[in-house]
Amino acid sequence: MYLITVFGNLLIILAISSDSHLHTPMYFFLSNLAFLDICFTSITIPKMLVNIQTQNKVISRPPWWRIISYEDCLTQTYFFLLFAQLGDFLLTVMAYDCFIAICHPLHYTVIMNPLLCGLPVLISWVIGALNSLLQTLLALQLSFCTVSEIPHFFCEFKEVIQLPCSNTFLNNTMMYFAVGLFGGGPFAGICYSYSKIVSSIGGISSSQGTYKAFSTCASHLSTVSSFYCAVLRMYFTPAITHCSHSSAAASMMYTVVTPMLKPFIYSLRNKDIKSALRKFFGVVVIKGPIVLG
């Protein structure tokens, strides 16, 4: 699953970068999302693969028999939060791109100019980095009474801040505030964009136009649904009914399964991506040696 995720997203990046016809805002955001998925899965899965191979349930650092320190665990948490937030912001920007393409097609090239494409990505990096740094710095102030065990396959932030014996009220408050602001805000933006898209599609008279408009955003909508369903299950399920197995299963959905499915979702239903991949592999074959028999 990890190899499928990495190579699938790499193929999307190569296809978009090699075909000049795909140098558009929609595919610019898609290539950034593919890059983030590679980074996102590389934070957790390689160590999990090592633990599976060695039959070791300890989240550790090199050498593998040392128990991980709290600082190392928070380092993993920092990058995990960073890439998760960046992916969330990108999904929101892609929903806005679909909204402009369907509801305001004549003004698309004016509205989605290079500055408006690059600025949200830059702002997402800044906000994500600052929020992740704030969360990890607050977690560094916590103290532990004894050696703690995380019932998880990586240092999930929600699980980490439940372990200390010191007061974690501020940490939980900031965590849910950040989830509500940087998760709920983008989700509201996505819902607003798709409400406008649905009303616009309903006004299209021809069935062919309706199908084309729907297929433009269907792939993105399926990705958003799978991501938010897993995140909501992880962070908003009551602690009484939220056992370690269900927590790990919810995390597995948005850290492993969803990134693995994205290359299939965005390529199998996209004629431009499939055409670019055929051209890319065609060029690779042509550049090979030709032997005249």
> One digit per residue, pLDDT tens: the chain, 293 residues?
999 999 999 999 998 898 888 888 888 999 999 999 999 999 888 888 887 787 766 654 443 334 456 777 888 889 999 998 998 899 899 889 888 888 888 888 888 888 888 898 999 999 999 999 999 998 888 877 766 677 777 888 887 887 777 788 888 899 889 888 888 888 889 889 888 888 887 766 666 666 666 666 777 777 787 777 777 776 666 554 455 566 677 778 778 888 888 888 877 667 778 888 888 777 654 555 555 55
H or E element in which residue 181 lies? none
State residue 3's pLDDT score. Answer: 93
Residue 161 has what DSSP assignment?
T
Where along the chain do its domains lie? 2-286
Q: What would be the CATH architecture of the domain defined by 2-286? A: Up-down Bundle (1.20)
The backbone torsions φ and ψ at residue 148, rounded to the nearest 5 degrees and listed phi first, read -105, 155
Indicate the pTM of the whole model: 0.82
Residue 180 has what DSSP assignment?
I
